[in-house]
Amino acid sequence: MTRLYIVRHCEARGNVDRIFHGVTDSKISERGAKQLEFLAERFKDIKIDKLYSSPLERAIKTAEAVNKYHNLPVIIREDIIEINGGCIEGLPWKQLPVLYPEQAKNWNLEPHNFAPEGGESMRQFHQRIWEAMNKIVEESRGQTVAVVTHGCAIRNFICRVMGYPIERLAEVEWCDNTGVSMVEADDNNNFSIGFINDITHLPAELSTFAHQSWWKKENIKSLTFD
């Protein structure tokens, strides 16, 4: 059995300022730095054989925290980077319904139809993440692996592991910053979920979601981007 600990990166300025920062690098926030201290302690006594990270700084800093007590090489993988938002990269979320109303609607209500000009469609991204995670399993058969990646990446992978078609992606919960999910794979790459978005390592005041409401289903339905 191969065990994957899938970790969303710590809070970054893009999360605080509510900017679409898919493939755009973003410095970690003050709260994000504090989240990493607790994340490091969470992984202190967990045996890890391999550690993978997206190439973006917010992910690499998170991987370094996971690695604090392990001294593993951090394997950078381009194929687990966040979705490329194309024309909406770097824009404030609150501007999207005005500038790109169709893509704003798709992102919140029909994410499977999200396809920004100059970027990556959700369907392309969904397949990219699925293939990347399967490759990681194949490279790490029988081992325990930590993978540090991004919110939309984790959501898409969990959607597939749950057996949902991409058309049901909107039903899959978002993970908080430094939220940890655990998935296991057998020798045939049949996946099972241990847990999703566990943030028990964080004090309540350090949860990013505790300070935001966009992720709540009632706000998603009303297209609240703040």
- Name the residue ranges covered by the structural domains of the chain: 2-221
Judge contact between 157 and 133, C-beta under 8 A: yes
Q: Tens place of pLDDT for every residue, the chain, 226 residues?
A: 999 999 999 999 999 999 999 999 999 999 999 999 999 999 999 999 999 999 999 999 999 999 999 999 999 999 999 999 999 999 999 999 999 999 999 999 999 999 999 999 999 999 999 999 999 999 999 999 999 999 999 999 999 999 999 999 999 999 999 999 999 999 999 999 999 999 999 999 999 998 876 645 555 444 444 4
Looking up tokens 């969990």, which residue turns up?
158
Do residues 60 and 77 make contact, with C-beta atoms less than 8 angstroms apart? Answer: no
**Fold of the 2-221 domain:** Rossmann fold (3.40.50)
Residues with Cβ within 8 Å of residue 90, at least 6 apart in sequence: 19, 20, 21, 24
pTM of the prediction?
A: 0.93
> Is beta strand 180-185 parallel, antiparallel or unpaired with respect to 2-8?
antiparallel
Listed as own residue / partner, the contacts of 202-205 with beta carbons closer than 8 Å and 24 or more positions apart are 202/35, 202/38, 202/176, 202/178, 203/38
